[in-house]
Structure 1
Amino acid sequence: MFTGLVECRGTVLRLERRGVDARMVLRSEKMFSDMSLGESVAVDGACLTVVSFEGPVFCVDVSAETLSKTTLGSKNSGAVVNLERALRLGDRLGGHLMQGHVDAVGTLTQKRIEGRSWRFAFTVPEELSPFIVAKGSIAVNGVSLTVNGCTPGRFDVNVIPHTAEITTLGMLSPGDPVNIETDIIAKYVHNMLQAWNAAPTDASRARPTGVDADFLKRHGFL
């Protein structure tokens, strides 16, 4: 799990294609002194596993699924990415709970100054719209942000100067693709309601009258 509070930026040194998969070599701006093999690091919001490291340079494997659902496959040498290590029990949860499982690639469509902040507008596949609500949380390239407003297939956020400076968001221009992860709680609620609405209503198999442990087990939540 992650929080969407980027620890530092990193630079892609190379992306080595290995059949349908790839290995990415990155240099972090910050030395992770207690990094360990097998730990999880979010790279632009995508949860990846560290397979080797030396000093600030580390390697991660990128599966075919991740390459197909994120922007990582288009990262060339020199590309700058956001880095966050996995949340530890007892850490402050300053952003929101994130899995590092990117839902889709969105596109920045508008970027303008609003006060001292930036107002960004993004388009996303419309199937993500049920999970995006005004004043809810969303992750863009691994950065936890608050949704200001949304319509089907579109949402906008404010990016404060600090966030623009320490992450890659300040480098974005209209037309740039970004990794989008919607709120995990919204996904579970949506899935639960779909299961509820699909429950049979005939007399022999009446619709459940409440959400209890048995209901959650039957629909795969427990």
Structure 2
Amino acid sequence: MFTGIIEEVGTVKSIEKNHRSLLLKISAKKVISDLSIGDSIAVNGICLTATSFNHNSFSVDVMNESIVSTSLSTLKNGSLVNLERAMPINGRFGGHIVSGHIDGTGEITSTSKCGIATIYTIKTSPEILKYIIKKGSITIDGISLTVLSVSKDNFEVSIIPHTSKNTILNLKKVGDVVNLENDLIGKYVEKLFLRSDDSSSITRDFLYKHGY
């Protein structure tokens, strides 16, 4: 599990393309300081497993599902990526619950300034938009962000200077593709409502009574 608080920006050192898979080698400092083989690292929001590492880089295998469902196919040698280690059990929960399982991608359609903030408008599919609510949480390239507004075909987020400075979002331009992960809570609630098992004690009235 992750929190969406980016720890550092790494650099793609090499990309080895195999049959329906990739082997990425990424340079980093902070996230490898206590790394072990098999540990999870979120790369642009995608939960990947460290298969090897040395004093200045680590490698991860990427299966076909991750390639076709995310923006990983756009990476090149030298590309910058957001990195976050899995949350330690005694760590601070600075963002929101992030699984690292990308729901899909979105396209940046516009950016604008509003005081110190930068507003990003992102177009995405109805399947993703249905879980996005105003003031709710969304993960963009692994960054935990608060939704500013939602329309029928896009949503907006507002980025403070600290986030721009310490992530790759400030490098993104109109037309660029970003990874999106919806808040888990909405998906689980929907699953409960759509259950065909009438014996379930979780009903709309039950949820309303308990404040949901």
What TM-score, normalized by structure 1, do the two folds share? 0.88
Structure with larger Rg:
1
Alpha-carbon shift at residue 151 of structure 1 (Å):
1.6
Residue matched to 1:18: 18
Q: State how 1:76-155 maps to structure 2 within 5 Å.
A: 76-155=76-155
Structure 2 residue runs of 5 or longer lacking an equivalent are: 204-212
Q: How does 1:199-214 map to 2 (within 5 A)?
A: 207-208=198-199, 210-211=201-202
Is the contact made by 2:36 and 2:50 (CA closer than 8 Å) also made in structure 1?
A: yes
Q: In 1, are the aligned partners of 2:13 and 2:25 still within 8 Å (CA)?
A: yes
Matches for 1:163-202 after TM superposition, within 5 Å:
163-195=163-195, 198=196
Cα deviation per residue 1:20-51 (whole Å; 9 max; x = unaligned)? Answer: 11100000153622110000000000000000
Tell me, in whole angstroms, the C-alpha distance in 1 between the residues paired with 2:156 and 2:26. Answer: 30
> Which stretch of structure 1 is more off in the superposition, 160-169 or 12-21?
12-21
Matched to 2:45, the amino acid is G
2:57 matched residue in structure 1 = 57
Q: Deviations over 1:96-123 (max 9, x none)?
A: 0000000101101111111101011101
Checking the alignment, whether the CA contact within 8 Å between 1:9 and 1:29 is kept in structure 2 is no
CA distance in 2, matches of 1:30, 1:37: 16
| Match in the other structure for 1:160 | 160
The runs of 5 or more residues in structure 1 that have no matched partner are: 200-206, 213-222
Distance between the aligned counterparts of 1:182 and 1:9, measured in 2?
A: 22
Code of the aligned partner of 2:193:
L
| Closer, same or farther: CA 70–192 of 1 in aligned 2, 3 Å | same
In structure 2, C-alpha distance between the alignment counterparts of 1:66 and 1:144, rounded to whole Å: 20
- The CA distance in 2 between the partners of 1:95 and 1:79, in whole Å, is 25
Q: Distance in 2 between matches of 1:113 and 1:74?
A: 27
Partners in 2 of 1:120 and 1:173 — Cα distance? Answer: 10
2:8 aligned residue: 8
CA distance in 1 between partners of 2:75 and 2:29 (Å): 17
Deviates more, 1:125-134 or 1:42-51: 125-134
Deviations 1:50-104 (A, max 9, x none): 0000012110000000001011122000100000000111211010000000010
Partner residue in 2 for 1:215: none
Local SS of the residue matching 1:25: strand
SS of equivalent to 2:68: helix
**How many residue pairs are counted as aligned between the two chains?**
203
How far, CA to CA, are the matches of 2:70 and 2:10 in structure 1? 17
Question: Displaced runs of 4+ in structure 1, greater than 4 A?
Answer: none
Rounded to whole Å, the distance in 2 between the matches of 1:111 and 1:162 is: 17
1:70 aligns with 2:70: yes
SS in 1 for 2:32: coil
Separation of aligned partners in 2, 1:44 and 1:141: 4
What secondary structure does 1:94 align onto? coil
CA drift of 1:208 comes to 4.5
Amino acid at match of 2:18: R
Find the aligned partners of 1:9 and 1:57 in 2 and give their Cα distance: 12
The alignment-based identity, stated in percent, is: 37
* Separation in structure 1 between the aligned mates of residue 56 and residue 124 of structure 2, nearest angstrom: 34
Quote the offset at 1:153 in angstroms.
Answer: 2.8
